[in-house]
């Protein structure tokens, strides 16, 4: 039964676990697979109801949505994450969402977990990889994937990543939130879509600032009577609007492409 926040129990079960990974299933038609060493794939199947056409029931092919995560450890406390979400159906909002908008929404989800993951990792380091249950409370069936991964990691990798001689396994000091959740150097600078929009918005911001300053300069250097009062007022209003617009745009660019803080207490 759903609670007031829309949550509900998730009935999950593990189907298999071996050196190649593991598979779990949900009662809602979802299937999750971990493929060693760093691939996670989620599959959601939505069955369509049959349509009645000319007295015949025609069953539509099921809609499928995949969530594919490539999460490659780079160093202790750092991973490179690549996310792909293909599906064989479209939504009404798709034509209105460009690639960079989708990336913004995905980054918001990743950012929301970043600080929590860091704290959890520190707690796991304190108790040691073989005692991870002491740092995690995972009583629900919805935690099946977490438990399965920890079992796989313990059985086939001694509970931790073997960094060889390159790293000693210890975590670096915790970064400030603005650096930990940085978007520009972790994503924007590497993404042609987001980087293109970022540059265009910055050009537009500078153009607004230049127009605002130029308008003030024109009014200051123009002799009285050369510009009608109505024209002077219009120019002043345009200058103020451009200045305010550039300030708002600067805040928007920073929040979308650099740092968007996230407080779990209010989400």
pLDDT digits (tens, 9 = 90+) for 16-37: 899 999 999 887 678 899 999 9
The pLDDT, as a whole number, for residue 189 is: 94
Q: Which of 158-172, 218-232, 243-257 ranks highest by mean pLDDT? A: 243-257
Task: State how far the alpha carbon of 67 is from the alpha carbons of 20, 39, 120, 148, 242, in Å.
Answer: 19, 11, 24, 18, 42
Domains of the chain, by residue range, sit at 12-46+61-161+169-174, 195-258
* Segment 161-175, tens digit of pLDDT: 888 777 877 888 888
Q: Report d(CA 199, CA 3) in Å as an integer.
A: 44
| Predicted confidence band of residue 53 (pLDDT cuts 50, 70, 90) | low
Angle 175-181-182 (CA atoms, 0-180°, nearest 5)?
100
- For residue 241 the two structure tokens come to 């609007």
More confident: 165 or 196: 196
> 139 CB contacts (<8 Å, ≥6 apart)?
none
3-state secondary structure (DSSP) of residue 46: strand
| Predicted confidence band of residue 2 (pLDDT cuts 50, 70, 90) | very low
Query: What secondary structure, in 3-state letters, does 71-130 show?
Result: EEEEECCEEEEEEECCECCCCCCHHHCCHHHHHHHHHHHHHHHHHHHHHHHHHHHHHCHH
3-state secondary structure (DSSP) of residue 23: strand
* Segment 91-103, tens digit of pLDDT: 888 888 889 999 9
Name the pTM for this structure.
0.77
CA 208 distance to own-chain centroid: 30
């Amino acid at each position: 039964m759903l609670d007031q926040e829309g949550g509900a129990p998730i009935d999950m079960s593990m189907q298999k676990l071996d050196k190649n990974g593991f598979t779990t299933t949900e009662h809602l038609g979802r299937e999750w697979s971990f493929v060693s060493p760093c691939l996670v794939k989620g599959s959601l199947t939505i069955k369509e109801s049959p349509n009645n056409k000319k007295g015949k029931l025609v069953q539509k092919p099921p809609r499928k949505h995949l969530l594919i995560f490539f999460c490659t450890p780079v160093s202790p406390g750092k991973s490179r994450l690549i996310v792909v979400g293909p599906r064989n159906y479209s939504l009404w909002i798709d034509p209105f969402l460009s690639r960079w908008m989708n990336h913004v929404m995905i980054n918001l989800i990743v950012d929301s977990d970043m600080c929590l993951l860091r704290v959890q990792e520190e707690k796991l380091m304190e108790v040691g990889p073989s005692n991870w249950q002491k740092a995690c409370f995972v009583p629900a069936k919805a935690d099946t994937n977490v438990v399965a991964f920890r079992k796989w990691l313990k059985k086939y990798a001694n509970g931790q990543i073997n960094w060889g001689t390159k790293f000693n396994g210890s975590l670096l000091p915790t970064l400030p939130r603005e650096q930990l959740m940085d978007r520009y150097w972790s994503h924007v600078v590497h993404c042609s879509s987001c980087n293109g929009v970022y540059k265009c918005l910055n050009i537009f911001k500078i153009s607004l600032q230049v127009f605002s300053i130029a308008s003030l300069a024109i009014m200051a250097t123009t002799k009285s009577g050369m510009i009608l009062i109505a024209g002077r007022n219009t120019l002043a209003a345009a200058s103020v609007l451009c200045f305010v617009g550039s300030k708002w745009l600067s805040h928007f660019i920073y929040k979308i492409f650099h740092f968007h803080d996230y407080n779990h207490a209010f989400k």
